[in-house]
Amino acid sequence: MSSPRSAAISRAVIETAIQSYQDPYLKQDLLSAGCVKSLEIDGGKVQLSVELGYPADGLVNGVAELLRTKINNVDGVEDCIVSISWRVASAPVQGELEAFANVKNIIAVASGKGGVGKSTTAANLALALAAEGARVGILDADIYGPSVGLMLGIADGTRPEVKNEKFFMPIQAHGIEAMSMAFLITEDTPVVWRGPMVSGALQQLLTQTVWNNLDYLVIDMPPGTGDIQLTLAQKVPVTGSVVVTTPQDLALIDAKKGIEMFNKVNIPVLGVVENMAVHICSSCGHSEHLFGEGGGTRIAEQFGVDLLGALPLSMMIREQVDGGMPTVVAEPDSQITMIYRDMARRLAAELSLKNSQAAAAPTISFSDD
């Protein structure tokens, strides 16, 4: 039999304890975010079940322990069991486009100009999402300079298996699925295509690849904001985008164009990634902002989007992707990997929030009455 002291525990007091924890990615408490699936109080025993809307294998144990401590500190609680899981839902896509049945969310990684580390970011973000437990694929849409295969260590000349003479089976690399035009052409084949041909080829790659029930498909977009990029953004059912830049003034100007392009076609910009934000000398440890400082933050604030993260100018990042082992898999416990995983959780949580907001939005109907 429960003691009078433990029987007096109210649901409101336990909920207050839960609300004292603010999820750093959802930017609100778990109760307000709708993540509390069940809360049972039996005398002095409390059972809490939480389901996050973004992949968080690296977080769940720590958050569970933190919530357990907060609830155990409530007067009268004798025992507390906290279980935390996560589930990725499909977010809405732009316009009248139909989402793919076997891909929940498509994330376009873009840049206004080349040379800002977009492909490296796309590869490491895809691997970081997978490291958090998600089912992930990556499509190299940079027809003129496909490099994702090289970055993932896929041997030159590798060809995808063809199913029923029509469908491509994606190639597995480091636990994610990959597809690229580079897998279908040889180095000796010049890619001299006009915009409509590029768009058609990429749509074919997307729709004729047998993606295996992915939570996220990351698309490494061609650099720039011209007709090709605009056409792709209008024809591919994208649920969110990420814009990669450097602090350099020219790159920032082009990054703004990238954000404006996605706004024009109603694709949510999940955030900005600032590459080469600071150089740290490998000999003395001195840090220096070679390309300017705070540019990513200024753009994010100007357009009301998140700065997902800032990455240093690092020879290690470059050497690892050139060697087919991006940082997230080459050094899973490194500080740079932690930045990529933090960025992955931020963009996934932002997508989850936008999905919740869309689901909660009222619909207006008209009648002749």
Residue 273 sits at φ, ψ, to 5 deg, of -110, 125
Q: How far is CA 6 from the centre of its chain?
A: 43
Within 8 A by CB and 6+ apart from 178, the residues are 137, 138, 139, 140, 148, 149, 152, 154, 170, 171, 172
| Closest to 202 in 3D by CA, of 221, 223, 178, 224 | 221
**Torsion sign over Cα 261, 266, 267, 269:** positive
Q: Is 116 annotated as a binding residue?
A: yes
Q: Is 354 annotated as a binding residue?
A: no
Extended beta strands in 79-175, E state: 79-86, 103-110, 136-140, 162-163, 167-168, 171-173
- CA angle (40 as vertex; 38, 46 as ends), nearest 5: 115
d(CA 68, CA 43): 16
User: 295 to each of 118, 226, 278, 280, 342, how far by Cα in Å?
Assistant: 16, 23, 12, 18, 20
Q: Is 147 annotated as a binding residue?
A: no
> Which residues are bridge partners to 269 per DSSP?
241
| CB count in 10 Å sphere of residue 354 | 16
Going by the DSSP 8-state scheme, the letter that residue 183 receives in this structure is G
User: 200 to each of 23, 112, 225, 334, how far by Cα in Å?
Assistant: 42, 22, 18, 40
Q: Is 115 annotated as a binding residue?
A: yes
- CA angle (229 as vertex; 227, 232 as ends), nearest 5: 105
CA atoms within a 13 Å half-sphere pointing along the CA-CB vector of 100: 26
Q: Is 112 annotated as a binding residue?
A: yes
Q: Is 119 annotated as a binding residue?
A: yes
Going by the annotation, the residues of the binding site for ATP are 112-119
Binding residues: 112-119
